[in-house]
Amino acid sequence: EIVLTQSPGTLSLSPGERATLSCRASQSVTSSYLAWYQQKPGQAPRLLISGASSRATGIPDRFSGSGSGTDFTLTISRLEPEDFAVYYCQQYGSSSYTFGQGTKLEIK
Amino acid sequence: QVQLVESGGDLVKPGGSLRLSCAASGFTFSDSYMTWIRQAPGKGLEWVSYISGSGNTISYADSVKGRFTISRDNAKNSLYLQMNSLRAEDMAVYYCARRAPSQRHLDSWGQGTLVTVSS
């Protein structure tokens, strides 16, 4: 099973700043099968990025994804107040899904 | 638009059983792989199971294999999760989610239903 490790666990930033979230896989991941989700308290997760770098419908262009192989990154170029949430990466492989443990993005 | 509504969550004793349902609308249900994802209180997301549109392809996480059964009724646009031999560690919010057509990511999620396992 592929293990996804997200870092940092918590990221404290201010609105307007740039956020860089990392997702590292224990073995190579098919880029097409790497996704990022945002979850706010009391809500279901929401798809942000699929295929490592494709924004989902309605997702602002301040969100971008990159990476390949074992290292993937979610970047939020300029933080808006509504971006403070928990972010998860997820991969599919060998007939199963795995999620990273999440990065909490909090207001500094 | 795609809508997924889970139901069936409840308080159940360890060793007990529960059946969750997910009502789908706004898309061709029989064409879509569907998944169950869970989230224990204060914890991260954990994949539980998925099922193909026809029901012929099914996969389970090791943590639930042999205890949980996923199924669907395409005539009713409904997804199910039969959970037996429940344990304290099964306590979580259970989400149903649609796998994007011809893709692997999960593009639509329900609001979740809470399963509490406690004596």
Please tell me the predicted confidence (pLDDT) of residue B50.
98
| Mean pLDDT value of segment A78-86 | 97
Q: Give CA–CA dist A94/A30, Å, rounded.
A: 11
Query: Greater confidence, A87 or A93?
Result: A87
In chain A the beta strands, taken as DSSP E runs, fall at: 4-7, 10-13, 19-29, 34-39, 46-50, 54-55, 63-76, 86-93, 96-99, 103-107
> Helix, strand, or coil here: B29?
helix
**Chain B residues within 8 A of A98 when measuring between CB atoms:** 47
d(CA B99, CA B66): 23
Taken as a whole, chain B contains a residue count of 119
Q: What is residue A94's predicted lDDT score, i.e. its pLDDT? A: 85
Mutation for A interface: B96, B104, B111, B114, most A CBs within 10 A: B104
Stretch A81-86: mean pLDDT, rounded? 97
A99 closest CB neighbour out of B44, B103, B108: B44
Cα gap B47→A80, rounded to integer Å? 30
- The Cα A76–Cα A5 span in angstroms is 19
Structure confidence by residue, pLDDT tens digits, A16-65:
999 999 999 999 999 899 999 999 999 999 999 999 999 999 999 999 99
> In A, which residues are within 8 Å of B45 by CB distance?
37, 39, 45, 88, 90, 99, 102
Q: B92: which residues sit within 8 A by CB, 6+ positions away?
A: B38, B39, B40, B41, B43, B46, B114, B115
Residue A2 pLDDT > 90, yes or no?
Answer: yes
Query: What pLDDT tens digit does each residue of chain B (119 aa) get?
Result: 999 999 999 999 999 999 999 999 999 999 999 999 999 999 999 999 999 999 999 999 999 999 999 999 999 999 999 999 999 999 999 999 999 988 999 999 999 999 999 99
Residues of chain A in contact with residue B50, where contact means CB-CB under 8 angstroms, are 97
- Interface with A, mutate which of B45, B49, B94, B99 (most A CBs under 10 A): B45
Q: Name which of B57, B75, B80 is nearest B4 in CA terms.
A: B80
Q: Which residue of A has its CA nearest to B39?
A: A44
Closest residue of chain B to A47, computed from CA coordinates: B107
In angstroms, the CA A107 to CA A10 distance is: 10
pLDDT value of position A1: 87
* Range A99-108 average pLDDT: 97
Q: What is the pLDDT of residue B33?
A: 97
